[in-house]
């Protein structure tokens, strides 16, 4: 009997926040590519349902990423269930504290930091304690466009998502000497429960989220969890063996090419050449080419 095939065949992963959204999409993609996966999440019903759906090579562990013992137990579950740990995807997160900076509640900010940044640090810590002696592994963490540009996210959320990038760069520099890579993904606005809550007022209204995102899409359709998962699979695979310390935007150019291009306007479609001091020089229409 042969084992599973795929780009991640034989690898073992832990996915925090793995019961829904980007996390669930990545669990499915990892499993399809041959990996064994621990779904680590607070959402027990959703996590157990996903594990039951995928069956062999997937287990669920209730995990609170703000609690070190809980994160440690998720990592231990991977080793106990499947014998090793090759990929740690620190994906769990919340929007957290919202509102003007002068009205931000400290207790809300503290929880946001605990989930979104401390949780990532704990994931890195406990993944590293397995991966360093093993001499191999990949740590991938989810940031956000809000971590690299202003005005697209709540204040504390923006701060912690920027912190994930700085933390990952630092950890990548340390762990590469042990054969362990650390990278970051920046998903754009993705059709998920979190987005549905924000744009449709109902976390279960994925159709409403998709309709809202369709109106503001950068490309031909809204971003789906599977699109983000494809990038995470690449970073987790041996194809990215020399890729560490990077930030991979999966956002249709939101962070790198956010503004509309005037060259996409129809009025420029039949023009080519150049302008100098207010004058057109060279070819200006297809007929002249």
Distance of CA 99 to the CA centre of its chain: 24
Residue of higher predicted confidence among 129 and 197? 129
What domains does the chain contain, in order, with CATH numbers?
12-188+223-258 (3.40.50.720), 260-289 (no CATH)
**Mean pLDDT of all residues in 167-178:** 98
Q: Are 15 and 26 in contact (CB under 8 A)?
A: yes
pLDDT of residue 215: 53
pTM value > 0.85: yes
157 is catalytic: yes
Give the pLDDT mean for 238-255: 94
User: What mean pLDDT do residues 7-26 have?
Assistant: 97
Q: Which of 157, 218, 234, 268 is catalytic?
A: 157
For residue 223, the 8-state DSSP code is B
Q: How confident is the model at residue 179 (pLDDT cuts 50, 70, 90)?
A: very high
Q: What count of residues does the chain have?
A: 289
DSSP state of 261: P
Amino acid 205: pLDDT: 53
Q: Is the pLDDT of residue 78 over 60?
A: yes
C-beta atoms surrounding 217 within 10 Å:
14
CB 44 within 8 A of CB 21: no
pLDDT, residue 75, reads: 98
pLDDT over threshold 90, residue 43: yes
Find the angle CA(13)-CA(19)-CA(24) to the nearest 5 degrees.
65
pLDDT interval class at 83 (50, 70, 90): very high
Task: Tell me how far apart the terminal alpha carbons of the chain are, to the nearest angstrom.
Answer: 63
What is the average pLDDT across 134-152?
96
| 236 has a pLDDT exceeding 80 | yes
Q: Tokens at residue 281, please?
A: 């020089």
Instruction: Take residue 70 and report the two structure tokens written for it.
Output: 């809980």
Average confidence score pLDDT of the chain: 88
- Residue 77 contacts residue 51 (beta carbons within 8 Å): no
Q: Please check the confidence at residue 147 and state whether its pLDDT lies above 80.
A: yes
Average pLDDT value for residue range 95-104: 96
pLDDT of 1: 44
DSSP codes joined into one string, 139-190: EEEE--GGGTSTTSS-HHHHHHHHHHHHHHHHHHHHHGGGTEEEEEEEE-SB
Q: Which of 58-62, 234-238, 258-262 has the lowest mean pLDDT?
A: 258-262
What b-and-e string marks burial along 101-112, b requiring 16 or more CB atoms within 10 Å of the CB? eeebeeeebebb
Confidence band, pLDDT 50/70/90 cuts, at residue 289: very low
Phi, psi angles (nearest 5°) of residue 178: -105, 10
Least confident of 77-81, 130-134, 165-169, 264-268: 264-268
The predicted structure's pLDDT at residue 192: 57
Integer CA distances (angstroms), 177 to 153, 182, 250, in order: 35, 12, 28
Which residue is listed with tokens 């034989």? 10
- Sequence-distant (6+) residues with CB within 8 A of 176 are 244, 245
CB atoms within 10 A of CB 135: 9
């Amino acid at each position: 009997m042969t084992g599973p095939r795929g780009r991640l065949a034989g690898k073992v992963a832990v996915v925090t926040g793995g019961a829904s959204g980007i996390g669930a999409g990545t669990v499915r993609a990892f499993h399809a590519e041959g990996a064994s996966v621990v779904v680590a999440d607070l959402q027990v019903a959703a996590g157990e349902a996903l594990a039951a759906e995928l069956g062999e090579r997937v287990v669920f562990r209730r995990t609170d990423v703000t609690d070190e013992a809980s994160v440690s137990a998720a990592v231990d579950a991977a080793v106990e269930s499947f014998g090793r740990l090759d990929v740690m995807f620190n994906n769990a997160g919340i929007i957290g504290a919202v509102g003007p900076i002068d009205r931000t509640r400290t207790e809300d900010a503290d929880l946001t930091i605990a989930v979104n940044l401390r949780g990532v640090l704990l994931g890195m810590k406990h993944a590293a304690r397995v991966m360093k002696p093993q001499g191999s592994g990949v740590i991938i963490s989810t940031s956000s466009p809000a971590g690299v540009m202003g005005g697209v996210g709540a204040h504390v959320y923006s701060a912690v998502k920027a912190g994930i990038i700085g933390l990952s760069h630092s950890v990548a520099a340390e762990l590469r000497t042990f054969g362990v890579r650390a990278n970051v993904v920046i998903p754009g606005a993705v059709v998920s429960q979190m987005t549905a809550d924000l744009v449709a007022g109902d976390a279960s209204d994925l159709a409403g989220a998709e309709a809202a995102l369709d109106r503001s899409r950068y490309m031909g359709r809204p971003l789906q969890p599977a699109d983000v998962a494809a990038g995470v699979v690449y970073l987790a695979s041996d194809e990215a063996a020399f890729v560490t310390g990077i930030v991979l935007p999966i956002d249709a150019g939101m962070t790198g090419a956010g503004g509309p291009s005037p060259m996409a306007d129809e009025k420029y479609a039949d023009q080519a050449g150049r302008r100098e001091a207010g004058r057109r020089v060279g070819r200006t229409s297809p007929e002249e080419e």
